[in-house]
Amino acid sequence: MPETILVVGSGVAGLSAAVHCAIEGFKVLVFSKKDVDYCNTDKAQGGVAVVLNKGDDYEKHIKDTLKAGAGLCNREAVEILVKEGPERVKELISWGANFDKNKSGALDFTREAAHSINRIIHALGDATGHEVEQTLLRKARTFSNIEFKPFKMLARILTEDNRFSAIEVLDTKSENYEYYAGSALILASGGYAAIYKNTTNPETTTGDGIVAAFLAGATLEDMEFVQFHPTALKRYNAPQFLISESMRGEGAYLVNDRDERFMEKYHRLGDLAPRDVVARSIVFEMKERNIDKVYLNATHLGEEFLKSRFPTIYNECMKYGLDISKEAIPVSPAAHYTMGGIKTDVNAKTSIKGIFAAGEVACNGVHGANRLASNSILEGLVYGRRAADSACEFTRNNDVVNFNKPQFNKKPCNKQFLKKRIVDLKETIWEKLGVIRKIKEMEDILNCSWALFLKNYQPYNCEEGITLRNMAALASIIAYSALQRKGSIGAHYCIDTPHSYESKKHISVSAGEMVDKL
């Protein structure tokens, strides 16, 4: 009987890893917090940045990625991403992914902020992530040795002598805890942008894998780097729906409440400046004008083009009475992507033997201080495959470690109370760890969130309890990491230290270190 490899997460990185482990003949269990296709990947709009355009080359993509990362990228990791990316995308196409074509039948390339050339492929106009997710799911379901485990929330990772042994998950339907042993664990559970009040992410994106790894002893890195998407829909009684950066790539532009274009006064690239710059510029403009939103004007692009190129955005806005071909879209920044995560090498290895990580849950140095637009799906494909290769190799060379089921009682849940605490904490995180930060506010949230985490360290027997614990841990870790950085760089901007004199370093943190210092 083949050894079992556990994969937590069913987005692009998790499914890529699962498929490649299955190809190697291993049994694979894929765990997801909700339904298998309820994830960030499925919601992604923009596209996949990849060197397939004749006028493009590896060095251009590498240069753009390094520049966006503000000097904090790992060049080796970036080179791997860029050079292995085309093969992974071609593989995805061979599995049935249908990317948009131009009139001549070739792949249609578009451009987003901070790219020097049109290199972004897209599907269904602005539903690229959905096409990628469904393609990978169809491929995964062709393997009898892949088994899906939906509605299983990761609570803890069990180890023996710094070696993976099993995971503890909460079945969110029965609210019972379950234990699964395996020869290796691949974490692909996503980032932590949903701990913020304003976010483009599904509510499930609360860093569960990162916190579980942190509590198991793994090293985290660069957790202060949270990317805020500049343009989330800001309309009464409507969700914070992502308005893709591709719209600005196609010619849409930002204006204030006076219908004045303002980005040129903040950055020479104007509306196509890096995301962190655009998000901060919008916040500065809102404060200057005493308004709570700005506007993205795409009306000049025409109804026919908007319907064909951005059907998801067009139709979603129409649900709330907004015809984007006739009026500008009200927008404001929202937490979107997290560059920090579990520290890994370029082979997805973490500091715990037998545990590997890929995608947004990991920090391998690809994104540095600020992710280049549309590099995330490519990272999931490339490093999901690398995580699979490493996990398979580890499994071939190591025996399964026995685990001892922990014996302790879970705390009973008062769900309404916990839900209120979650809402309050999200508000506080947005206010004190948002687009523009202050030292005093970061110190305040570190003190209160660390105390809240310690109080709620013992897991509850419900999803809300684990979520509150994880949010409190993440708020503490983000604040702690941000306070270690004595300047501003990339997605971390502290108004008290706006310059980056000595910020070109990485901030690593472990549970043991935080316990000792706090």
Each residue's pLDDT tens digit, 36-50? 998 889 888 879 999
The whole-number average pLDDT for the span 174-181 is 94
From the number of C-beta atoms within 10 Å of its C-beta (0-12, 13-18, 19+), residue 249 rates as buried
Active site residue 289: no
Q: CA nearest 225: which of 43, 441, 485?
A: 485
Looking at residue 501, its pLDDT comes to 64
Q: Rounded to whole angstroms, how far apart are CA atoms 344 and 209?
A: 14
Check if the beta carbon of residue 369 is closer than 8 Å to that of residue 199. no
Coil/strand/helix, residue 330: strand
Average pLDDT of the segment spanning 380-393: 98
Catalytic residue among 156, 275, 371, 385: 275
**pLDDT value at residue 400:** 87
Q: What is the mean pLDDT of the chain?
A: 94
CA atoms of 442 and 488, how far apart (whole Å): 14
Q: Quick one: pLDDT at residue 467?
A: 96
pLDDT tens for 269-323 read 899 888 888 999 999 999 999 999 999 999 999 999 999 999 999 999 999 999 9
3-state secondary structure of 290: coil
Closest CA to 205 of 194, 221, 220, 215: 194
Q: Identify the H or E element spanning 329.
A: strand 329-338
CATH annotation of 230-333: 3.90.700.10
What's the whole-number mean pLDDT along residues 394-407?
88
Q: What is the pLDDT, as a whole number, of residue 300? A: 97
Q: What pLDDT, on the 0 to 100 scale, is given for residue 503?
A: 64
Q: Look at residue 409 and tell me whether its pLDDT is greater than 80.
A: no
Pick the range with the lowest mean pLDDT from 162-171, 244-253, 380-389, 398-407.
Answer: 398-407
Domain ranges of the chain: 4-192+339-397, 230-333, 410-517
**CA–CA–CA angle 156, 161, 165 (5° rounding):** 45
- pLDDT tens for residues 55-114? 999 999 999 999 999 999 999 999 999 999 999 999 999 999 999 999 999 999 988 878
Question: What is the DSSP secondary-structure string of 413-462?
Answer: P-HHHHHHHHHHHHHHHHHHSSSSB-HHHHHHHHHHHHHHHHHT-SPBSS
Tell whether the model's pLDDT for residue 2 goes beyond 70.
Answer: no
Which among 342, 420, 335, 398 has a CA at the least distance from the CA of 371?
335
| Predicted confidence (pLDDT) at residue 121 exceeds the cutoff of 90 | yes
Do residues 32 and 148 lie in contact, with contact meaning Cβ atoms separated by under 8 Å? yes
Instruction: Round to whole Å and give the CA distance between 372 and 100.
Output: 21
* Model confidence pLDDT, tens digit, residues 434-493: 999 999 999 999 999 999 999 888 778 899 999 999 999 999 999 999 999 989 999 999
What pLDDT score was predicted for residue 1? Answer: 46
Burial class (CB in 10 A: 0-12, 13-18, 19+), 117: middle
For 2-11, 21-30, 153-162, 236-245, which range has the lowest pLDDT when averaged over its residues? 236-245
The predicted pLDDT at position 486 comes to 84
Q: Please tell me the CATH code under which domain 4-192+339-397 is placed.
A: 3.50.50.60
Residue range 410-517, CATH number? 1.20.58.100
